[in-house]
Structure 1
């Protein structure tokens, strides 16, 4: 018997030694790579796992120089790289995650700045869509949701304060920047919650549908002008303000989000906002960019209608041009056509596609970072931020097939590590759509 005990003890020691050889600690700076299932409740099985291969409307195209399986794998690769670089665990709160947008010190607001509501919204969209590929997607999504709830706007507490910083002992909303909301981040957070409801259901620890309705109603109350029915810049822009109440940002024109908000809440005012948004797109196109289809970073309402702002309005002296905000409009606007076939923006998108193909000689490498609305370039360098959204707008017609193929090849070839959070996030979201994997809740 003694010999048997000794033998069992030896086996136990050998097994423990082998375990120590293969179990490695997780570095604090790489929290997004750890297995969150060790500290979280079991995730629900995804109901719409990636890849979805959504049936887009008739006539919409995808790249045909690469097969579907390879496109899906490219999206998986870009997601894994994006997650590894930007998705971070809050070092001070164990069940929260955030998307780090300032790794390269792109923000000139404060070196301590780490994230924004825009980044949080992108993260919630991406993790909800990529469930099925990433078995921990729900844990990440829930952590991003908790981060949003931990950083409310001081004006409407159902909305998210637009910027956060790490002060060395906590991640807090940035008072210097203003603890108020930006419309784009809130809209993506709301849409992400609707995706989550369809992806995992709302019977778990977070009622995604109820949370979505709360923020959608808050967006209507505080980020929609209640007489002009345009999307405002944030909850800080009072309807009655003679300057800010009239302002609107075309990169917030997430038309399919507006449809989803109407469906989720039953609030018919969202139909009014949708129709007004399409009207503004048409006014800006026909009145100020008839030969290009380009939209400005910011526009304002005047007695004669909507027009691009002049000079520095909110961010830079390029606010009236097609610059870093407006670079997202081909993706945001074309998505509604791709999913619904609503043709009200097709003339603008068609003009945009024809113009950029002509401007570049159908060579995506010649896309430049920013244009005046007449088509004159602002900068001489290429930027992925501008290139990838054109791939989404190219999907609307078969005449763009060669151009779409070239855009896919160009944008997937760029290194994640050598680019920025903004470029890489827009690329991933755009290529999810281009690959046929975007869907509406």
Structure 2
């Protein structure tokens, strides 16, 4: 048994610990941490990921960091907006979804923005102000089904449409994770108790967005058991494996471990049964109560719901982060399968990555363009093995060379760049509440 010892140098704050040693092992009984002030994990962090993983090595660490900060400035200018012009409450911020359309924000974007601003604290002196403004915007727009989940869409006037007031699970999961990061970054003794709010959101997710029969992640809190088509369905871009670990570490709720196990089982089932040549996952999976399979056409969003499209394109990022931070071999196996296929498919030229594929690797119709929504997440997936070094370097070059595209593409690009540069960290490594053994 190995004990992780929480040190003063890691937390940059005094700790009082009691340690018992016996039979060659150390047991950490408790740790008392006073309220923390200031920034605990300022950008850049240069996280030591799982041994054997890689980062782009054809540029210096300073160049990696500078690329992140430059794109963060561009992203913030383009998408991080104050709510004043939309009639929101004072001090609110939101991540702009559409520059001209009626939809101004979605919960997914709020979660992304909250993660980004927390990770950029230290570089951006206003990061906490932005984070808190994003948080209060989330609080202003609760789902009709639970006050700690967010209504998935708001439109002009800072209002939630009456027929769009349920949640989308991915936004809620990222919001909960961002609140854990905020507790680790700034502590929870201020105006917002980030830790307690994170626990509240996690409890709401467990109650409303986790299927208690299959321990699978549901599409949103609008799904009811009376609709088995959706009740036993899931969205693979919600497979935030490392989030689930952080939830369990923060809450002590073993049910998150069951959700993690189910999620891994679904990844394995899809890759071995439906996409053995490619490792690709579909946007949606259905029939989780019997034989899980890729969703039928137009299951929820469109004709490519059962293929690797604009939801599943995020999967290499989520799977890659899991291996980088947890060293779980299941994540590496899943990422390796995708890496092997995409490198062969493109001839090791990232410029040949296209916007969507059938699970067998064939091109989807009208996919003949390159977008960061598909390219950038593959950069994170490539980090799991040193054999991908040249491929990763090429991916990085393509990512940093691209101009702004749109909210979704650019936000995924920035999130992926944070990981690829070594600046993605888990709250479990630094937060005041963590006490664990493994």
Task: Give the structure-1-normalised TM-score.
Answer: 0.86
Query: Of the two, which has the highest radius of gyration?
Result: 1
Q: What is aligned with 1:237?
A: 223
Deviation at 1:304, TM superposition (A): 4.5
Q: What is aligned with 1:87?
A: 80
Select 1:97's aligned residue among 61, 83, 93. 93
Contact 1:226 1:239 in 2 (8 A): no
1:379-420, Cα deviation, whole Å (9 max, x unpaired): 11111110000100100000000000000000110012xx01
The answer to whether structure 1 residue 67 and structure 2 residue 70 are counterparts is: no
Alpha-carbon distance in structure 2 between the residues aligned to 1:147 and 1:52? 28
Select 2:280's aligned residue among 291, 294, 304. 294
How many residues are aligned here? 387
Alpha-carbon distance in structure 1 between the residues aligned to 2:142 and 2:243? 21
Contact 1:334 1:396 in 2 (8 A): yes
Alpha-carbon distance in structure 2 between the residues aligned to 1:139 and 1:366? 40
The answer to whether structure 1 residue 339 and structure 2 residue 329 are counterparts is: no
1:74-101, Cα deviation, whole Å (9 max, x unpaired): 0001111100100000113221100001
Alpha-carbon distance in structure 2 between the residues aligned to 1:302 and 1:401? 37
The answer to whether structure 1 residue 273 and structure 2 residue 259 are counterparts is: yes
Question: What SS does the corresponding residue of 2:287 show, helix, strand or coil?
Answer: strand
Contact 2:236 2:284 in 1 (8 A): yes
Deviation at 1:118, TM superposition (A): 0.2
Q: What is aligned with 1:144?
A: 134
Alpha-carbon distance in structure 2 between the residues aligned to 1:148 and 1:62? 34
Q: What is aligned with 2:118?
A: 128
Question: What SS does the corresponding residue of 1:338 show, helix, strand or coil?
Answer: helix
Structure 2 residue ranges without an equivalent (≥5): 1-35, 428-438
Q: What is aligned with 1:47?
A: 40
Select 1:391's aligned residue among 354, 359, 379. 379
Question: What SS does the corresponding residue of 2:426 show, helix, strand or coil?
Answer: coil
Q: What is aligned with 2:248?
A: 262
The answer to whether structure 1 residue 172 and structure 2 residue 159 are counterparts is: yes
The answer to whether structure 1 residue 76 and structure 2 residue 65 are counterparts is: no
**1:193-212 matched pairs, under 5 angstroms:** 193-212=179-198
**1:340-355 matched pairs, under 5 angstroms:** 340-355=326-341
1:278-297, Cα deviation, whole Å (9 max, x unpaired): 00000011010000010000
Select 2:170's aligned residue among 184, 188, 191. 184
Contact 1:161 1:181 in 2 (8 A): yes
Contact 2:233 2:288 in 1 (8 A): no
Task: Give the structure-2-normalised TM-score.
Answer: 0.87
